[in-house]
Amino acid sequence: MESQIGWPDQGKQMEGIGGDRRRDRRYEIRLETRWKLIRRRRVLDSGVGHTVDLSSGGILFDPGRQLAAGLNVELAIAWPVLLRNIAPLQLIVSGRIVRCAANRAAVVMVQHEFRTLGVPGEQRTAMGATARAPSALLANGSGVADFGKYR
């Protein structure tokens, strides 16, 4: 009699197990990446590669060679959008390598932040002296400087 009784959603759960079980949507995008393997605040190794895909929780990247799972890594990813169409950005990610296979490494993100790389000299000259201060990039009440402020 027990064999006839089943859970109504049991079939649906079984179908989903074989598929992609990640919580976050992944976006296929190839971005230039510099990486550093870090242990106890020391850089063990470094190199360049590119992202394969990324999500809000992790990144799959090609480091250019085989890396070992379990190591801490810091990635500096060249972001494809300029801040206010002027300053280049980098996405800096700290995390742990959780899987490696065939020159690809999967990283679970622990911390991330965007950093500016600065404005090229010819653009600074064209914009005038006021753009030389970092605050000028964020001024005028729009964008990053007002993030979190109530109006």
* pLDDT the model gives residue 76: 96
Check: CATH 2.60.40.4070 for 23-139?
no
Enclosing H/E stretch for 12: helix 10-17
91-101 as b/e: b if 16+ CB within 10 A: bebbbebeebe
pLDDT, tens digit (0-9, with 9 covering 90-100), for 20-47: 555 678 889 999 999 999 998 899 999 9
When the pLDDT of each residue in the chain is averaged and rounded to a whole number, the result is 77
Q: What are phi and psi of 68, to 5 degrees?
A: -95, 140
Q: How confident is the model at residue 17 (pLDDT cuts 50, 70, 90)?
A: low
| Token pair recorded at residue 54 | 């990324």
* Rounded Cα gap, residues 38 and 71, in angstroms: 7
Q: What is the pLDDT of residue 117?
A: 84
Where do the domains of the chain lie? 23-139
What CA–CA distance (Å, rounded) separates 72 from 57?
Answer: 15
Residue 53 has pLDDT above 60, yes or no: yes
